Every structure is written in C-alpha cells, then in structure tokens.
C-alpha cells in the first residue's frame, strides 16, 4: 500500500502554514513525487513581510554577541541534522550524496563564520576640519531583507545570505527555488530548532513570478539578495530599483590553457569544473580556450576524465554524477550540444540523455572540440556537464576570445609563466581569476561576484563583504560644545 506524499508548509511569524494551492516536488533521478509544496500567493508573501517587519526592531536590538551565539547554535543544529538534510538534498536536487553531505557541512560553517565576523565589525572615527565636531561611523542592519535563492546549491547558497543577514540584525523573508523547496523546509526546521525568535526568518514557497516578485517590490523590504540567472537578475534589478542589492548571476567564464601549461592539471581542473554537480555551477567550466599546439593531448585527457565519471542514482555508493535538476536545464544543454555538432564541432564523448537510468534528466558527461565563436555553447551559459574546447594560435587571440563574452564571473588560467598569467588576470573583466586552478575554486570567506559591465551580477558575497553589504553605514557627528 503506497503512502500519500507529505504536504509541506510555509513558516511565517514562527507558525507553519499550509496553502490551499499546491505543487509537486519531484525526485529528478526517478520522477517520484516527494511531496506537495505550497504554491503561495502574493498575499502570503505580503504577510511574511509583515511578520519580518514586526520582528525586525527586536532582533536588531539584540546585542551582537547574542546574535553571534544564535548563529553558532544554528550551525550546531545543522550539524546534528546533517545526514537527514543531505539525503533530502540529494533526493530533491540530484547531486550525489557525498556532494550533498559536503554542502550541508559548509552551510553549518557559514553560520559559524558569520558569528565570528560580526563580532569583528567596526566603525571608525574620522578627523574633521571643524574642531568642534567629533565624527564616527557605525553599521546597522538595513531592516527586512528579501532573499531569493536557486536550486543548484539549495542549502549553501541560502546560507550565504541568511547567516550574514541574521548575524547583522536583519529580519528576512526567504523564497527558495520551487524545485528544491523540500530541503529548504529541512534547513528552516534546523534554524527554528536552534531558537531563532519567530518572524526573524520567514520561509515562503512558491513561484518566483508571484512570491519572489512580491518581496522584491514590497515597500517594507529594504534590501535584496538574489542568486540565479542573468535574465531573472535583470528583472529583479528593474523591479526592485532603489533598494540595495546583492545579485550573483550567471557565468560562462573561460578556462584558458596556454602551450606551457601543465596539461594534466589543466585537464583535471576543466573536467572537475564541468562535471561537479553535473555542471550546474555558475562558476563552472563554461568553455575552454586551448593553444592549438596542446589542444589534442588536452582533449584526450579530458575525455579520459569524462569516461571515468560514474553516472547514476545519486543515493548509490560510487555514483559521481547524478541527474540534472529539471527539464528546462536539460533541454538547454541538449540544444547547445546539438547546435555545436550541427555547426561542425566534434563530439568526442557523451552528448546524450540516459533515460534508461531512471529519468530523462540524466545527461552524459560530454566533450566537444572544434567549437567556434558563433556557437550557442560559446555564447551562452550552458549550465551542464559539457567541456566545449576552442583553440587559439597566440596570446592575442586567446585574450580576444576570452573577452568576447557578455559574462564576467570566474576564469581559470593555466600557464607556467606567472607574468603572462597575471597580465591575463588583470585584463579580463571578471570578478574571480584562478591561476593554475579550476574556475570553480572559492572559499566562504573570499570575494565572489561578477565583473562590472557584464551579465554576472552586482556586489560581492563572501566573508565580511556580505556582512558589510547587508548593513547600513551611518555617520554620526557630535558637537563638542
């Protein structure tokens, strides 16, 4: 006898509330229904904003050490539930259980890091021309934050906003991606179990066009945090105009491999950056620019890495890559590969869906060579397990190819010539350049974000930068009398 799937709820003002309208949560590996999620309305999102507004002043008034202690308690609560949250994450998102477990562990670390950093936040005193004035600056919470997060890292990316936001005294309304909202409930339950006061964090599940838009435009939200696609980020920027924003958007950053590079290291980094989380990473190996003298051995080595990937059920021991998360991303990857092959690219390995593994969201790790500028896989963010290789003749062409992109998030540069690598790093308008390392390298305390004038976002996540972005810098002058 089959069990009815569970019905999940929003958390508003400390109360778990169901919605009359629901939508299914599905396991991308099997197509199984994991439960029924709220399809919340704008009115529900508005009530969540009201709950956050009611809680904001009291939370902001708590001493910094008390808010830091709460973040440490939340980190411990996540640790205590690590196995359970990781399994839910793997089932709902599709990543292998080992990757999911690592993500949950980093989420706990994120709360502990915020606790450490908020206790170190400082203002300053500023010398003045007027001898009768004493001037200082302080940092205060902005008020109510609207936070909208994606499905590719549905535990760790929310924490990149939630931990700094709570540590600095903001109240938050959080809208997670619909395709990974069951694990959002699990994370919210852990935060609630740690003792966070009601209304300080509110979870609203639903479609972004309704609940996400409502918290962006609502007059009682005072800041916006969003990680997701460039197109959605642009709409949020327009709809939330005038509010402080952290927008972490897409990337298609190149990995550049020069003829003097360590080819083994470069190939391993390119493959890892493309196949980790099935390539569903904004800083993934979007395209690889390889000097023509080393292109053939480089491609051969990447193909070896692709063949070594174990594609299968993410809960099975030994699986190293699971299914894609949703049909939309699967369709885009297939379109990009088909377009490249039709325009003359060579398919070395992969390029197919594998419905025989349990669903049509399994996509083989794929390597393409002979990719050219005009192909979609070079122009757009693919967001899948594909390594597309373009070749170049000299340094000038390499830089020209690297700059021929609307994105500017993360870049990898492989060369034994440090001077050359640093020149390239300075010339590319990206927020992150990793020399002799994968484009995906990042740690929680390091700056992460897109270059100005690109489609990769505004502002920087990471360490103290997020805490500063989510606070207001206030100048106070005192007349000495």
99 an active-site residue?
Answer: no
d(CA 196, CA 295): 54
The active-site residue out of 248, 364, 380, 381 is 248
Each residue of 400-432: b (16+ CB within 10 Å) or e? ebbeebebbbbbbbbbeeeebbeebeeebbbbb
Question: Residue 276: which residues within 8 A CB-CB, separation 6 or more?
Answer: 99, 284, 440
Each residue of 377-390: b (16+ CB within 10 Å) or e? bbbbbbbbbbbbbb
282 an active-site residue?
Answer: yes
The active-site residue out of 91, 160, 214, 282 is 282
Active site residues per annotation: 248, 282
């Amino acid at each position: 006898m089959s069990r009815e799937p569970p019905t999940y709820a929003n958390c508003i003002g400390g109360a778990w509330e169901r919605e009359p309208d629901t939508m299914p949560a599905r396991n991308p590996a099997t197509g199984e229904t994991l439960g029924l999620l709220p399809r919340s309305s704008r009115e529900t999102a508005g009530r969540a904003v009201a709950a956050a507004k009611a809680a904001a002043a009291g939370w902001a008034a708590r001493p910094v050490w008390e808010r830091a202690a709460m973040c440490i308690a939340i980190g411990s609560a996540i640790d205590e539930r690590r196995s359970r949250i990781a399994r839910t994450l793997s089932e709902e998102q599709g990543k292998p259980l080992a990757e999911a477990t690592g993500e949950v562990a980093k989420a706990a670390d994120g709360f502990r890091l915020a606790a450490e950093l908020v206790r170190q936040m400082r203002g300053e005193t500023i010398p003045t021309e007027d001898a009768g004035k004493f001037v200082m600056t302080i940092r205060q919470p902005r008020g109510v934050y609207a936070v909208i997060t994606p499905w590719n890292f549905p535990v760790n990316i929310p924490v990149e906003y939630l931990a700094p936001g709570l540590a600095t005294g903001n109240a938050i309304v959080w809208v997670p991606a619909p395709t990974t909202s069951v694990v959002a409930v699990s994370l919210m339950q852990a935060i609630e179990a740690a003792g966070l006061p009601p209304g300080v964090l509110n979870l609203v599940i639903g479609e972004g066009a309704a609940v996400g838009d409502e918290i962006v435009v609502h007059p009682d939200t005072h800041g916006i945090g969003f990680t997701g696609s460039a197109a959605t980020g642009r709409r949020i920027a327009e709809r939330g105009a005038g509010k402080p924003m952290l927008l972490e958007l897409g990337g298609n950053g190149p990995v550049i491999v020069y003829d003097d590079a360590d080819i083994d290291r470069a190939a391993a980094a390119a493959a890892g950056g493309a196949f980790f989380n099935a390539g569903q990473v904004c800083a993934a190996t979007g395209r690889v620019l390889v000097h023509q003298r080393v292109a053939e051995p480089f491609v051969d080595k990447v193909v070896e890495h692709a063949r070594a990937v174990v594609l299968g059920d993410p809960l099975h021991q030994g699986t190293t890559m699971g299914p894609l998360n949703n049909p939309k991303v699967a369709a885009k990857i297939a379109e990009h590969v088909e377009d490249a092959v039709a325009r003359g690219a060579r398919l070395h390995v992969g390029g197919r869906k594998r419905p025989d593994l349990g669903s049509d969201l399994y996509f083989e790790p794929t390597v393409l060579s002979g990719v050219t500028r005009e192909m979609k896989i070079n122009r757009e963010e693919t967001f899948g397990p594909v390594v597309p290789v373009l070749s170049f003749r000299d340094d000038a062409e390499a830089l020209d190819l690297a700059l021929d992109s609307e994105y500017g998030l993360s870049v990898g540069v492989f060369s034994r010539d440090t001077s050359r690598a640093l020149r390239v790093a300075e010339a590319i308008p990206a927020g992150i350049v990793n020399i002799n390392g994968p484009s995906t390298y990042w740690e929680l305390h390091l700056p992460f974000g897109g270059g100005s004038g690109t489609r990769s976002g505004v502002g920087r996540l990471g360490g103290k930068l997020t805490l500063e972005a989510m606070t207001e810098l206030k100048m106070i002058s005192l007349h000495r009398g």
